[in-house]
Amino acid sequence: MSANMRRVLLKLRSVPTQPRLAAARHLSSSPFLKDTGATLPAKKPVGAFRGGLFGFLSGALVAGGVVYYYILGEYRVSNNMLTEDIYALQSATQKLQTYISELETRVDQLQKKK
């Protein structure tokens, strides 16, 4: 071992293992700090009830707005689908009506020939 290592080990052995109690501190205040003169006005606390009520109402308002726009979007989609279905039913009805009228004319032509 080198000489430096021996010195370090000797210093480490001499370190006390028991924690030392901190010396008691004496606190004092100066006269400058005691005489501040003007003080700030006391803030009125919001309070847990009013804060909770405000938080609940604002959360309900935001949630209601989100739900409103979601339902409005769903309503538009379903309304468009219903309109498309109505147009498809209308075109199918018109095709069926033209087919039936053609059949009726053919039946009338066949009955005239007999």
Read off the pLDDT of residues 52-104 as tens digits, 9 standing for 90 and up.
Answer: 889 999 999 999 999 999 999 999 999 999 999 999 999 999 999 999 999 99
Considering Cα of 66, then 69, then 75, then 76, what sign does the dihedral take? negative
Report the Cα–Cα distance between both ends of the chain, in Å, rounded.
133
Residues 78 and 40: their CA atoms lie apart, in Å, by: 60
Mean of the per-residue pLDDT values for the chain? Answer: 81
Tell whether the model's pLDDT for residue 9 goes beyond 80: no
Question: How far does CA 73 lie from the centroid of its chain?
Answer: 19
